[in-house]
Amino acid sequence: MSYSAFFATVESPALSAVAEHWRKARGAKPMPSWGDLDPAAMKPHLPIVWSWKYDRASDSFTGRLAGEQIAEAFGRQLRGAAMKDFFAGREYETVLARFKKIVDGPAFMHCTGRVFAHAGRVGRGERIALPLSDDGRQCAGILGATVYRVAVNEPRDRPADDRHQNQDCQFFPLDGAAGP
């Protein structure tokens, strides 16, 4: 039921397609692995897809993938970057807390609002994040996707500590394996 509740909040057709691919890829497991995902099936949406690998031993995230639109929004590629360095000065603690809810839950995340404010972008969007696992049971990473549109009349000079206040994030606990 949790996936259904999460999926019902997703508005973007592109994000819905990414979420449905994740659901199908997990099959009978609670979570798919990176290898269960089919890049060809997600090809139309790869520009908005991103992923982080989680290392439980060091309690840290490392960038795995960022599509062209994501890299453009940040002004750089996240592949191979330590999250602590990538988000340094860009609300690292907020991002870390959200991503830890996903891996520790595990859980699904859905956000709307100023999705790239911490990167100095001005606009509105929608974001999803889904847990990935190496063994199908314990979360070892996150697959996400973000859609974004520039807001013409949005003030650019908001204080850094106000940037995430206009973003609504919901978390949904992981349910069992996908149904038919």
Q: Whole-angstrom Cα distance, residue 164 to residue 168? A: 8
Q: What is the pLDDT of residues 134-173, one digit of tens each?
A: 998 899 999 999 998 766 555 544 444 444 457 899 999 9
Q: Token pair of 67, please?
A: 């599509």
What is the pTM for the complete model shown? 0.86
Query: What is the fold, at CATH topology level, of the domain defined by 2-152+159-173?
Result: Beta-Lactamase (3.30.450)
Return the domain boundaries, the chain: 2-152+159-173
Would you state the pLDDT for residue 32? 96
SS3 88: coil
